Amino acid sequence: MPESLYIHIPFCIKKCLYCDFLSVTYNGSLAKAYTDALCKELILKKDFAGELKTIYIGGGTPTILPEECFRQLFKCLKENFKFSDSPEITVEANPGTVDKSKIDAMLSLGVNRLSIGVQSFNDDELKTLGRIHTSDEALRAIELVKNSGIKNFSIDLIYGIPGQTLDSWKKTVSKAAAFTLSPAHISSYELTLEEGTPLYEMIKSPPPHPPLGKGGQEGGKMTPERFSGSIKMPDEELILDMYNYAIDYLGGKGYEHYEISNFALTEFSENHPHHNPPPSTSPSTGGRGLGGGGKAAFKGLHNINYWDRGEYIGAGAGAHSFIRGFRSKNTDDIRRYIKVLNKGIIPEAESVEIKCDDAIKEFIFLNLRKTEGISLAKAKDLGLDMPGVCKELIEEGYLEINGDYLRLSRKGLIISNSIIVRLFEVLGLD
């Protein structure tokens, strides 16, 4: 039975220009009705759950919810679900939507991990992304979290932002890992241009004509709504340089690179992350910290369950679940979500059974995201001779055998999607 629960909060002050996640502008009455519906869904799904080891509340911006909604939600959870002795309970937080009172309230409810959406410590880059906070506001939010006594918090960063340079990225990464901040966990994601987002249109669509000012004169203000095609993404070489820098720099500061985009402090350097980090055990993949062979104290357990193809329950509009071999998704329509639950019905929009070939594809894709890679023993149980199948990719230096694991080499890690596509083609799974 699933031991992980994801809860989606779809409200934001303002939707970021690059975001294609389900989110809407915050509305107090709608948020209350949504919280009521969430509790109804959780009660309907409680019998599917085992003893919960992880709860992840994401969004949107969960910390935009009023304290009373949080209290209502956790009251429902505690009355209807069993918790493990020390569950990981994570809430996503955006700078500008947290204060001491809200942090204290979350702590009192059992929240023990925060994921802070910083994205950049460069104000120009934050404006390009459409973020509502500044670098200074992000620093103040982190300081609030640290002063609250929460050790286990994560910082999200984005690289590949239009206008971003290698130097500005280095400054963001070094500030994120600075001793004064010392987050337990850092996530570093490449910006993905999603079709239909304002940023996509700004970059991909050519401008039909210069913007017009007052009186129809050229030279009007360039805004996301009025212009497109005027900014460009960093080139591929620069993006690879940014990714490599993050791996090397964070590895040197005591962070284990345990998943393509995620880094966790090791127990060895918990108190002094800058002092004498453990050496890498994998010279060929330098910058991985402990190279997947050591122990990081602050890995995100909820996401590890996902990469391990563990079952989980999703609650909220647009939320996904994976239960008994079926992947399902709730309706994206927030008002329909509320309406259906008021009738006592789970608002499921689709459900697909994951059959053999799809299960194998998921196994390969999700496990290769982890830097430890694919267990050869588990692959054999699925009828896969991975060393034989991957012989060419191993010889080319994109994959390597490390003990009982097949993993992406440093060379393959930076082009992981291309390597996984090639692997699917070899296996006839494309």
**Whole-angstrom Cα distance, residue 79 to residue 340?**
23
CATH code for residues 356-430: 1.10.10.920
pLDDT of 2 reads 95
pLDDT of 83 reads 96
* Protein fold of 4-307: TIM Barrel (3.20.20)
pLDDT of 334 reads 97
- Percent of the chain scoring above 70 in pLDDT: 87
Residue 61 has pLDDT above 90, yes or no: yes
Residue 278 has pLDDT above 80, yes or no: no
Over the stretch 7-40, which tens digit does the pLDDT of each residue have? 999 999 988 888 888 889 999 999 999 999 999 9
User: Residue range 326-342: average pLDDT?
Assistant: 97
Instruction: Pick the range with the lowest mean pLDDT from 42-56, 72-86, 335-349, 407-421.
Output: 407-421
Over the stretch 113-133, which tens digit does the pLDDT of each residue have? 999 999 999 999 999 999 999
Mean pLDDT estimate for the chain: 87
pTM for the full predicted model: 0.87
pLDDT of 295 reads 58
Quote the radius of gyration of the chain (alpha carbons, Å): 22
pLDDT of 199 reads 86
pLDDT of 72 reads 97
Residue limits of CATH 1.10.10.920 in the chain: 356-430
β-pairing, 153-159 with 113-119? parallel
Residue 173 has pLDDT above 50, yes or no: yes
Residue limits of CATH 3.20.20.70 in the chain: 4-307
Residue 215 CB neighbours (<10 A) = 5
On whether the CB atoms of residues 288 and 257 are closer than 8 A, the answer is yes
Residue 284 has pLDDT above 80, yes or no: no
User: Residue range 77-104: average pLDDT?
Assistant: 94
User: Residue range 155-181: average pLDDT?
Assistant: 94
Over the stretch 191-233, which tens digit does the pLDDT of each residue have? 988 888 888 888 876 555 444 344 434 344 434 443 444 567 8
Q: What is the 3-state secondary structure (H, E, C) of 239-267?
A: HHHHHHHHHHHHHHCCEEEEECCEEEEEH
pLDDT of 164 reads 95
**Whole-angstrom Cα distance, residue 56 to residue 354?**
24
